[in-house]
């Protein structure tokens, strides 16, 4: 296992762990009771509200 560098400047906001700082997440689109997957779409990340930054509070 490679050691991960976690150092980052103090004034830089941490990237959102859900969307990895992109502000968007891809989700599968499912229809019907059988949950048939019809595709994927990109949506607004609800964890950071699209900012790409991890919420601090
Ligand atoms: Zn996010």
Residue 2 C-alpha from the chain's centroid: 23
- If you measure from the C-alpha of residue 25 to the centroid of ligand 1, how many angstroms do you get, rounded to a whole number? 7
The pLDDT tens digits for 1-53 are: 777 776 655 677 899 999 999 999 998 888 899 989 888 889 999 999 999 99
3-state SS, residue 36: strand
- If you measure from the C-alpha of residue 26 to the centroid of ligand 1, how many angstroms do you get, rounded to a whole number? 11
- If you measure from the C-alpha of residue 56 to the centroid of ligand 1, how many angstroms do you get, rounded to a whole number? 12
- If you measure from the C-alpha of residue 42 to the centroid of ligand 1, how many angstroms do you get, rounded to a whole number? 12
- If you measure from the C-alpha of residue 48 to the centroid of ligand 1, how many angstroms do you get, rounded to a whole number? 4
pLDDT at 48: 93
Domain ranges of the chain: 14-30+39-57
């Amino acid at each position: 296992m490679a050691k991960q560098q976690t150092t980052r400047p103090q004034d830089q906001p941490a990237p959102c762990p859900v969307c990895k700082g992109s502000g968007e997440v891809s989700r599968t689109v499912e229809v019907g009771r059988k949950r048939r997957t019809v595709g994927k779409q990109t949506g607004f990340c609800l964890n950071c509200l699209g900012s790409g930054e991890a919420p601090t509070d």
